[in-house]
Each structure stands twice: as C-alpha cells, then as structure tokens.
Structure 1
Amino acid sequence: MASPAPKTSAKAAKKAAAKRGAAKADMDRPGRQHSLYALSERIYSGKRCFYCGQLLRGSHTREHVFPLWLQKRFGMANQCLTLLNGTQIPYRQLTVPCCPTCNNVHLSKLEKRVRSLLFESPIAEARRDLKDIYIWANKILLGIVYAERLLPLNRRYPRGRAILPREMHDMFNMTHFLIQGLRFPIRFTAEGEERIPGSAFLFDLKSPRNQELQFDFKDNLFGLSVSLRLGNRGIVTLSDGGAIDLSVGDLLRRDGKRKLHPIQFDELAAKAFYKATLLNRTPKYIMTEFNGAVEVMQMPLMGLSSKPVFDDWNQTAYAHMLSVLTGYPVERLKPDDTDRVMTFISDAEGNPVNIPLGRSANRSPTMNKANRRGNSKKATMSTIKRRCAALTRG
C-alpha cells in the first residue's frame, strides 16, 4: 500500500528536473543574457559565468571573489575564509567561473573605480559615489554564495550535497539582478528619488600598522549584509531596499563623521546588521525595459499596512550581534538584566569617545588576528549559526 509514494516523489523530481532544463534552455537563447531576462531562475553551475549567467563555451576564466589587488594590499592571500559549513578556504583559492567579457571588461573596470574611490580619492568624494561600492561589496558576497553552491557540504563526498541548499537560491535573485548595472543601464528609484537599491555607508577609520590586521570581513545572509574593514576605510552595505538608510542612516553617518577606531566601526556595523534582521517587509518593484535600459521603481516599503516597517528592537538580541562582530563576550557587553549594552561610540553623557589606536588597542579583541572571521572558529561559527538561523526565518 505504501508503494505509490516513491512513484509520486520520482514524478515530482522528474518534473522539477524538466523545469530546470527548460529554464537553462531559455536562458541560453539569444538575448536572454540581458536586461529583464536576467531575472530568470538563477542557475548555479561550474559551466556558467557567476555574474551574467552565460554558458561558458571555449575559453573562460576564474574570477577571484576577493580580487588579487585586495589580497596583495592587505597580505591576505594565505589567510582563510570560513564557509557556512565551518570549513576554511584560502582567499587565493576562492574563485568562481567567469566569462572573459565580465572578468576582463565589466568587473575589471569596476575594480579600478572602486580601488580609486577607496584609496586615492577623498572620503567625501567617495561617499558621493556609493553605487560602485555597493555593487562591489555585493559582488563579493554573491561570489561567496556562488562558491558555496558549487562546493560540497562534506569534502569526503565531492558529488554530494552542496554547502548552500538549493531552496535558498531565490533569496539572492533580485540582488543579483540589481547589481547587473555593469552590463546594461539600470535606473533605480525609491520613495520618489533615484538612489542605489540598498543601504551603503563608508567610514573613515584608524588603521593599525600591521598589514594583516588592516583587513576584516563579516557578513549576514539575512538582509544580505556586508561589513568590510580595509585599512582606513570601512564599508557597510545591506540589500534592504534602502530601509536602513531611510530609518537610521542619518544616525550612522553622524557617528561616522569622525575617524573611528576599528571597534567603533564594528559597533556601527552591528547596529546596521541587527536592524536589518528586524525588517518585516519584502521590497516590491515595478520594472520596465526600453531599448535595453531598465527602470526599476520600488514600491513604498510601508505599503498599505499600518504595522511599522521594523519589529521592536531587543537589546539582548542586539548584544549577541555586537558580540559576533566585536569578539567581546555577551556577558561583558550586557552584564545585567537591564537594557544597558556597552557602547564604544559615546560616554555616559553622550559625548563622542576617542579611542587611540595604540598598543592597548592592538590587544583588543577586534584587533587580534584570532578574532578575524577567517581565523577564529569560535567567532565564525557564531556568525554561521546566526546566518543559518536567519535564513530559516526568511
């Protein structure tokens, strides 16, 4: 009597496989690699360009997720990134398939612009051109995601399940589409004005002398949040439809007007990361295409609901996020049952705190190599658990 179940399961699997095959065939039709067709089902394959999705025929290249110039500048080639399954991979080995056009034209030009903005331009000028920085940070994040979809969950079974489950694919589709502006024009508007399709912040930081302590990377897949510390520059981006910028952007920019100690930067990133987990809206869009250019209008996040866009802030939950990003134990950041959480930004009277980058600062958790995402199993596993927990919620 139980025999029909396997048949039904096999039939469903066959139907799903046929659907994926049709989607692949549709994507490979002439013209399907451009504009709104890029919203088709995202196909993760070692035979496709991670950026444009084109089927790789003949010669193709590998794109370093963290570009070689960045690895050289911060001496990180032999450092490791911890993946979602807890395994580690050297930055120099973290690559994804890429077509020659995307690698040598679109992404190469982006790298040059971002490198100039971050390290050759005044920070005020770079802050006026956050679009490229936003695309660049998300290109890195989606590159990691692509690699995690191709790499096996268990290295002993290379043909087994991938690190990133198939059911998580859809959550990245829209962000991947919105960073395609390197290939064709995309104009994005929200709340009645043209803007980037998310939140992006750039901070001026104090940089330690030790090259290996100048770089740090953290992410959270809920909200597609990225934190990058690059010497004297700190980047925080969130694919949230601009909700964080509209809500607390002015406060983050106020606290970031001065030169920040790395731990102060981590605190601001923690606030943005945690705020993103409270967003209870899914951005909706109206998209049109004309002559190869795409117009994307984001509908008001508030919509027709009277419910606030963000859920209530919880200091205990925030303390856990702050612990993940700073390396300090939760018990030290929130030592009692009150709503008080340690801050490195201001003193008890609300005055800005200046933390010198001296010998003692280099011994603090955020300045210690063992607390970098790629080198601290304890810290990174906390990040992984938070990422996975957030994903199950979404």
Structure 2
Amino acid sequence: MTAKLYNPFQDFKFDNKTCFLSGSPLQSLDEQMQVFPLWMMRSFDLEEKPFKMLDENMVTYKSLKLPCSPRVADLFAVLEQDIERAMTSGYEAVRNLSEIQLFQWVAKILYGVVFNEIQSGIRQAFISGEDLNFSQALVHKFRNLHYMLQSIMQPMEFEHKNPFSICVLPVDNAPDTFSYRDEINTLVFSFRMRDFAILATLQDNGVHAIYHEDVMNAIVGRVLHPIQFEEICARYFYSAYLFNRLPEYTYMETPECIFVEPMPLNDWTLKPIFDHWQVKTYGQVLENFWKPWGYTLFEIIKDPELPMTFILDRHGEFITDIHLAKV
C-alpha cells in the first residue's frame, strides 16, 4: 500500500478531535501532547510562564498542546527520550544526535506553535463573524513543514540534500540558562541551555549556511560566549527575512518510502536569492538579540561600514577576550 501524506490545510482541519499529524479521529479530547516537552518545562519552571502569541495575547507554555493519537504520541515519546538524554548531558551528546532527530524535535515545537496560532485565529474569526485571512505563502510553508514532520511516522528520504540546516554549537552559558526564540513566518528557531545552543533554519535547502559561510567557518572549534551566539542568531534571523524564495518540493509516495526532492532555488527572474542587506535594519535586529547586554542601535551602527561585532576583530581574527557578565 502506498504511503500517503496527510494535509490538514486542504480542508483547514485544526480541531481537537483529529490527530494533528496523522489525521486519524481521536477517541477523547484528553488525547493530547504538550508542544514544549515536559522535561524542559519542569527543568526551567516554564509551565506557568507566559508565552506571547502573534496577536499579542499571552498564554502559558503548558497550555500549548496538540491533539494526538496514542500511536503518534508514542513515536514522539521515543524521540523525546533520546533528546532529553542528550540535552541533559550536554554539547557532545547533542552534537551526536542525527540531524533528522533534531529536525523532528524542532519541527514538532514550531508546528505546535503554528497549530495553536491557527486555532486561535479560527476562534477569533468565528467571534468576529469574519473569514479567516491566511497567507497562501504561509500555508505553503506550513504544509511542507507538516509533510516533513510526518517522517517520524513513515519512511521518508530527502534526496540530494536536507531541506533544512541545523547547527549545534558549544556555548559558555550560565548553568540556569534557558533561551528560546522562533520566527514562524520564516521558520527559524534558536535554543540555548547548559553548554550548547541550537540554530535551525527550515526550508532553506541549506543556503543560509552558505550565505554566512565566513562567520561559520571562523567559529569552527570555538566555544562561543552567549553574546557571540546571539549575534549569529541575529544574522540568521535577519537573512531569513531577506530570503526571497518560496521553496518547492516534490513528494513521491511509494509503498516503501516517501521521496522528497527540493526544486532548484534559482528561477527565471535571475533575482538574487537574498534581498539587499541593510545595516540599519540588521542593527535593529541585533539590538533586540543583545537586550541582555544593553547595547543600543546607536552604538551598534555608529560606524555603518563596520557595525559592532563580538565575533571577528578588524583583522578577521576570532575574538576570544570578551569581558561581559554571562546570561
């Protein structure tokens, strides 16, 4: 029997009676799974902490849930055991996880946030009596994310290259560090705890790693200060905003496996893959990422030709002597 991908966006089915990933009907409204793993919420006392939604409403971390069949819940439980074991151990163990495992873990959280955002939008549209206004470009991205996440349920092979990039980096964090960011419109994710950090760009076919190749090559083998990692995040989050392609993928469903092939990012317009880098806009992004250290936009772009950086000095050498309090 040929494997089939479930597409909730076809009928916009985001109720609590259907498994979010398989589309199978649920027996009870209690069949749910947390978006953020329990071990993480309990380790950092997150359950009752506020989580800001796109409409500026505040919910709690523990209130973000996904309707989920027992079969799918069991599959994620197995994945979560491996992730928890590695992340509580530290950088070396996390680095040894497969990129597919890390993708599935990141994608489940990102899609979980998306699912809850969509449910919230549907409720608000119903109350206001208006139609739900949803960008077709976002539907395209979220549908692909959902398809790829189904790799946890059935064999899936990404041909030629993975459609995502996931970096695991060593960072000299304070012991109680928990730092999480996502940008669901551009599918970028960063996470920092213990002695490591994760930076993920989804559906970019690896081009961000090429775009930032000079900086990423400079940090190979280095343990980063948190301010250095946050600077790298600012670069990636900003370039994800500049990324002007909507990647396409073909899915070949066979009895043995689903084959996923990314289509070329170059198109007939011959436009660059990234829009022009604006130093002031980048400075505004960096100011936000550097809030714990208090650097202002004025300080960051005082010299527009050489915006402030803690990664490379004027001679292109990695900066190792950073005297800042850890956060």
Q: Which TM bucket (shorter chain)? A: 0.7 to 0.9
Whether the 8 Å contact between 2:218 and 2:318 is mirrored in structure 1 is no
Q: How many Å separate the matches in 1 of 2:280 and 2:220?
A: 24
Q: How many Å separate the matches in 1 of 2:129 and 2:288?
A: 28
Give the corresponding residue for 1:62: 32
- Kindly state the Cα deviation for residue 125 of structure 1 after the two structures are TM-superposed: 6.9
2:79 is the alignment partner of 1:110: yes
Whether the 8 Å contact between 2:94 and 2:168 is mirrored in structure 1 is no
Provide the secondary structure at the position in 2 that maps to 1:269. Answer: helix
The alpha-carbon distance between structure 1 residues 253 and 99, as it changes in their structure 2 partners (threshold 3 A), is: farther
Give the corresponding residue for 2:259: 295
Which among 145, 151, 154 is matched to residue 181 of structure 1? 151
2:165 is the alignment partner of 1:208: no
Q: How many Å separate the matches in 2 of 1:346 and 1:334?
A: 16
Moved more, 36-45 or 227-236: 36-45
The alpha-carbon distance between structure 1 residues 298 and 169, as it changes in their structure 2 partners (threshold 3 A), is: closer
2:62 is the alignment partner of 1:88: no
Moved more, 224-233 or 59-68: 59-68
Provide the secondary structure at the position in 2 that maps to 1:142. Answer: helix
Counterpart amino acid of residue 76 in structure 2 = L
Whether the 8 Å contact between 2:245 and 2:273 is mirrored in structure 1 is yes
Counterpart amino acid of residue 108 in structure 1 = A
Q: How many Å separate the matches in 1 of 2:254 and 2:275?
A: 38
- TM-score, normalised relative to structure 1: 0.72
The count of residues paired between Structure 1 and Structure 2 equals: 319
Give the corresponding residue for 1:331: 298
Whether the 8 Å contact between 2:91 and 2:196 is mirrored in structure 1 is no
Whether the 8 Å contact between 2:8 and 2:14 is mirrored in structure 1 is no
Q: How many Å separate the matches in 2 of 1:81 and 1:247?
A: 31
- Kindly state the Cα deviation for residue 184 of structure 1 after the two structures are TM-superposed: 0.6
Which among 230, 244, 250 is matched to residue 280 of structure 1? 244
- Kindly state the Cα deviation for residue 196 of structure 1 after the two structures are TM-superposed: 2.5
Give the corresponding residue for 2:119: 150
| Deviation per residue, 1:145-201 (Å, 9 max, x gap) | 11122236999x994589x85445443111111121100111112xxx3x4321111
Which among 195, 208, 211 is matched to residue 247 of structure 1? 211
Which among 72, 77, 87 is matched to residue 47 of structure 2? 77
The alpha-carbon distance between structure 1 residues 290 and 116, as it changes in their structure 2 partners (threshold 3 A), is: same
CA RMSD in angstroms comes to 2.9
2:290 is the alignment partner of 1:320: no
Provide the secondary structure at the position in 2 that maps to 1:179. Answer: helix
Stretches of structure 2 that go unaligned for 5 or more consecutive residues are none
- Kindly state the Cα deviation for residue 114 of structure 1 after the two structures are TM-superposed: 1.9
The alpha-carbon distance between structure 1 residues 227 and 121, as it changes in their structure 2 partners (threshold 3 A), is: closer
Provide the secondary structure at the position in 2 that maps to 1:150. Answer: helix
The alpha-carbon distance between structure 1 residues 248 and 107, as it changes in their structure 2 partners (threshold 3 A), is: same
Which among 195, 199, 217 is matched to residue 165 of structure 2? 199
- TM-score, normalised relative to structure 2: 0.86
- Kindly state the Cα deviation for residue 127 of structure 1 after the two structures are TM-superposed: 5.3
2:233 is the alignment partner of 1:266: no
Q: How many Å separate the matches in 2 of 1:133 and 1:265?
A: 19
The alpha-carbon distance between structure 1 residues 355 and 66, as it changes in their structure 2 partners (threshold 3 A), is: farther
Structure having the higher helix fraction is: 1
Moved more, 197-206 or 44-53: 44-53
Give the corresponding residue for 1:222: 185
Whether the 8 Å contact between 2:6 and 2:22 is mirrored in structure 1 is no
Provide the secondary structure at the position in 1 that maps to 2:311. Answer: coil
Counterpart amino acid of residue 223 in structure 1 = T
Give the corresponding residue for 1:13: none
Provide the secondary structure at the position in 2 that maps to 1:54. Answer: coil
| Deviation per residue, 1:110-139 (Å, 9 max, x gap) | 111222333437638725622211221121
Whether the 8 Å contact between 1:315 and 1:340 is mirrored in structure 2 is no
2:195 is the alignment partner of 1:232: yes
The alpha-carbon distance between structure 1 residues 141 and 298, as it changes in their structure 2 partners (threshold 3 A), is: same
The structure with more radius of gyration: 1
